[in-house]
Amino acid sequence: MLSYIARRLAIAIPTLILVSIFVFVLQKLLPGDPALVLAGEERDPQVLEFIRQKYHLTEPILYQYFYWVEAMLRGDLGVSLRTNQPVLELIADKLPVTIQLAIMAMIIAFMIGIPTGILSAAKKGTPVDYIANIVALSGLSIPNFWLGIMLIMLVSVNLGWLPASGYESPFIDPVRSFQTMIMPAFVLGTALAATLMRHTRSAMLGVLKADYVRTARAKGLRELVVIIKHAFRNALLPIVTLSALLFGELLAGAVLTEQIFTIPGFGKLIVDAVFTRDYAVVQGVVLCTAAGFILMNLIADILYFLLNPRMRSAL
């Protein structure tokens, strides 16, 4: 297993290096002089020269990249122009919020998508299957921003059951935290549930035709036991891979959902940084997002290896 993980890391590390080059070069291609942005209202030539020397802006771009990587390896991602905070502190402050939202959204997606996908596959060609597919297509078609606005109007404005926006840490007030996060988690979770339902149904349909499923039925096992223990267990592999990728996508920040519900997570952080031309924050967030995707891919590969006995026997 260690050799398998080492091989996956050998792919992940060069990928992360390429992403860092891509992020750095894109930032350099943006119009404008970074020194003028950093100087703010002070356009004194001495101040501009000091900034260019401090951030190595007068040196070749290759040297600038190596300086940036060296600082990044020391945990220095720069300082935000807007808040004057270290970027690493901003990320550490916003990331737990997005992780909480992502976990709640994935739980909702699992609770809706997987049972619906199993039921749809087990009842293929029946009205239950058609209804499940219609619900899944609706979940994929309805925009998150529209569903979020409708939920705020119905649940918060008209019924007054939940707060329309804001955020509270679960370590300070767990009940309030749940109340502020359940609606945005539901908005994200329903879209993910639709994707999970379609993939679960597809995987289950392939497995239900297998010989071992027919053998289990011939032994007189109950249909529920056949579906859950024999079929679903073997259909888990693509579902696990998809779930890891979807979770990585959520960690990237649900931009529209966080904006609508005023959640101070990764999505809102990067939107604010782009609008204020806070280059250091944009670089740091994009790099952390890419690292999150690569990490979730690595976890998916490891889970795939653990769940698939044929891969273990091949080593």
pLDDT in tens, 115-161: 888 888 888 888 888 888 888 878 778 888 888 888 899 888 888 88
Q: What is the pLDDT of residue 240?
A: 82
DSSP SS3 for 86: strand
Please state the domain extents for the chain: 87-314
The architecture of the domain spanning 87-314 is Orthogonal Bundle (1.10)
How far apart CA 190 and CA 111 sit, in angstroms, is 10
pLDDT in tens, 194-225: 888 888 888 888 888 888 788 888 888 887 88
Nearest 5°: phi and psi at 278?
-90, 85
Number of Cβ within 10 Å of residue 310's Cβ equals 6
**Helix segments in the chain, DSSP class H:** 2-29, 34-39, 45-54, 61-73, 87-122, 127-141, 144-151, 174-208, 211-218, 223-225, 233-234, 236-251, 255-260, 266-275, 279-307, 309-314
Q: What count of residues does the chain have?
A: 315
